[in-house]
Amino acid sequence: MSTVIAALAAPVIAPAAAFAQASTATGAVGGAAVGAVVGGPVGAVVGGVVGASVGAAAEPPQEVRTYVMKERRPSVRVEQEVVVGRQLPPTVTLYSIPQNSEYEYTVVNDRRVIVEPKTRKVVYIVE
């Protein structure tokens, strides 16, 4: 039985990861849908779990986004498009997020973004 579950889980992992990029909820729903098509009820469970875990790792915590959305800061104009995974220039000032040491935020080109301070890479675009 475990061989059957393993065989069903393999083709579910990649599609579930793709669904999970938007959010944990989207990952869980998308993974379950793909898993159900590939492997029936067992595939749905495996796909949902994989999609939720990948989605959770891909997005900053909810409290970080909620706090950042309430803050209004003047926007900094830079000559680049704001893209997740791309570094911001050292001239852009980052602001700390209270009660969270993993992320900082700033407003660049009229877009509020969450940044990983050590690498200065954008990890999430709020709006």
**Which residue from 57, 64, 61 is spatially nearest to 16, judged by alpha carbons?**
57
CA of 15: how far to CAs of 21, 57, 112, in Å? 11, 16, 29
Q: Retrieve residue 108's tokens.
A: 């660049």
Q: In Å, what is the CA distance from 3 to each residue of 6, 79, 100, 116?
A: 5, 53, 42, 40
pTM of the model: 0.52
Nearest 5°: phi and psi at 125? -105, 115
pLDDT above 90 covers a percentage of the chain that reads 9
Q: pLDDT of 63-104, one tens digit each?
A: 777 777 777 778 888 888 888 889 999 889 999 887 777 899
Model pLDDT, residue 121: 92
Residue 6 CB partners (closer than 8 Å, separation 6+): none
